[in-house]
Structure 1
Amino acid sequence: MLHGNTDVLVTNLQLQKVLFFTLKQALNQQLLNESAIEKTYNQPFEAWRYGPVEREIYEKYKVYGADPITERDTENSEYQVLNSVIFQFLQRDPFELIHISHQEKLWSQHETYLIG
C-alpha cells in the first residue's frame, strides 16, 4: 500500500494482521479510545484460517491476491499516533503474526467456525 510520503508495500494478508494488532495495542496502551477506533473501524474482525480479518477491508483489496497493494491511500491525521506501532508490526513476518493471532481469544472461541 502506498501511503503518504512513505512507500511501504503491504499485502492484504499483512494489512489484516497489522490492522488487528495495531488496533489492539492502541486500545491496550490507550493511544486511542474505543469510540475513536469504532468511528472508522466499526466492523468486527472475523476468525479466518490465517487469523483475524476485517471483511470490508479484505474485500476492498482482495483483487491484489498475495501481491502488494499498489494503490495510493491517504493518511488520516487522527491516527498518526499509531504510525510507530504500525511500522513495528510491518517489520514482523506476517506468518509470525498469524501464529500469534491463533493464540488470541477471538481465534480459540471461533476456531470451529473458520472462514476462508
Structure 2
Amino acid sequence: MKKKNPEILDLAYHIFGVAKEADKPITNLQLQRIMFFAFGFHIRVVGRLDYTACTLYDNPFHRWEYGPVSPEAFYRYTRFRSSPITTCFTIKDPKLNHLNPLITSLLDIDGFELARLSRRLPSWSDWGEEIITDKYVEPYSLWDILRDFSEDSKIMRLLDDIGKRENIETKKLLDGSNMSEWLKLTPKDSIEVDIGSYLRRLEETEEIRPEISQNIQDMTKNLLNEMYEQGKLDGSKENCK
C-alpha cells in the first residue's frame, strides 16, 4: 500500500503530540498560529519549498481577522471555543521533529499575542484593511509564506532564536544556504530549472498533480521576474527576459 502524502492536518496532529509530551494545553486560537509559524519556519530552515512543504500545503491558510487560519483544522476543533483542546488525534511525524523546540516555546505564548505577531507579517498586514472590513482576500499562497519567512525581520529573528536553540535536527537541515542567499547567488534561469526539475520528479512519482506543478512553475517565474525588476535580487532587467 502506497504511503499517503503528508497533509496540513498532519501538522496539527504533530503539534498536539508535542503539546501532550510537554504537558502543555493548547487552544484553537493558539493552534492556528502555531501551525502557520511552524509551517513557515520549516521553509525558513530548509531554505526552499521542499517536498514536505509542497505536500503539507494541501489546504491553504486563510487571512482572517486574528491572523492566518487553517479552516480544515479550525472547524474540526471549534467546539472547544476558547478552552484547551482535550480530544484530539496525536501523532508525531519524525520529518517535523526539527520544529519541536519552536512549537514547545510557542505553546507558552497567549493565543492573542500569537495572533498579533502573525498580523505584523507582510502577508497579513498588506491586506489588513481589506480583511478587517470583511472584503474577500485570497488565501495565502506558498510564495506569500516563503517571502514572509525569508526576510530578516524582528519576528524572524525571534523565531530563529527560539526555534534553533539546541536543536540538532535543525542544524542538520541548515547545512544548505538559506533561501535569500541562494536566490542572490543563483542565476534566475538556474533557479527556474532547479525548481522545474524537482517538480517533474514529483510528477513522475505521482506525488504531485501536473496542474499543480505547472501552477508552481508559473508562480516561480512571475515571482522571480518581479523580484529582479524591483532590484531585490542581483541582476539586471535584461537577465529576466
TM-score (norm 1): 0.83
Structure 2: any 5+ residue segments left out of the alignment?
1-14, 135-241
Q: Aligned pairs, how many?
A: 115
2:122 is the counterpart of 1:105: yes
2:30 is the counterpart of 1:3: no
- Comparing 66-75 and 45-54, the one that deviates more: 66-75
Runs of 4+ in 1 over 3 A off after TM superposition: 31-34
Aligned partners of 1:32, 1:79: CA distance in 2, in Å? 15
- Specify the alignment match of 2:61 in structure 1: 45
Shift, 1:33, TM fit: 4.7
Paired letter, 2:51: S
Q: What's the C-alpha RMSD, in Å, of the aligned pairs?
A: 2.3
Structure 1: any 5+ residue segments left out of the alignment?
none
Work out which structure has the larger RCO, using CA pairs closer than 8 Å and 6 or more positions apart in sequence: 1
CA contact (8 A) 1:10 1:69 kept: yes
**Higher percent of residues as helix:** 2
Aligned partners of 2:38, 2:48: CA distance in 1, in Å? 11
Paired letter, 1:3: G
Paired letter, 2:60: P
**Higher percent of residues as strand:** 1
TM-score (norm 2): 0.43
Paired letter, 2:96: Y
2:34 is the counterpart of 1:25: no
- Specify the alignment match of 1:83 in structure 2: 100
SS in 1 for 2:42: helix
Do the aligned partners of residues 32 and 84 (structure 1) sit closer, same or farther apart at CA in structure 2, a change above 3 Å counting? farther
Aligned partners of 2:17, 2:36: CA distance in 1, in Å? 18
Do the aligned partners of residues 97 and 2 (structure 1) sit closer, same or farther apart at CA in structure 2, a change above 3 Å counting? closer
Do the aligned partners of residues 87 and 31 (structure 1) sit closer, same or farther apart at CA in structure 2, a change above 3 Å counting? farther
- Specify the alignment match of 2:161 in structure 1: none
Aligned partners of 1:32, 1:68: CA distance in 2, in Å? 34
Q: Which has the larger radius of gyration?
A: 2
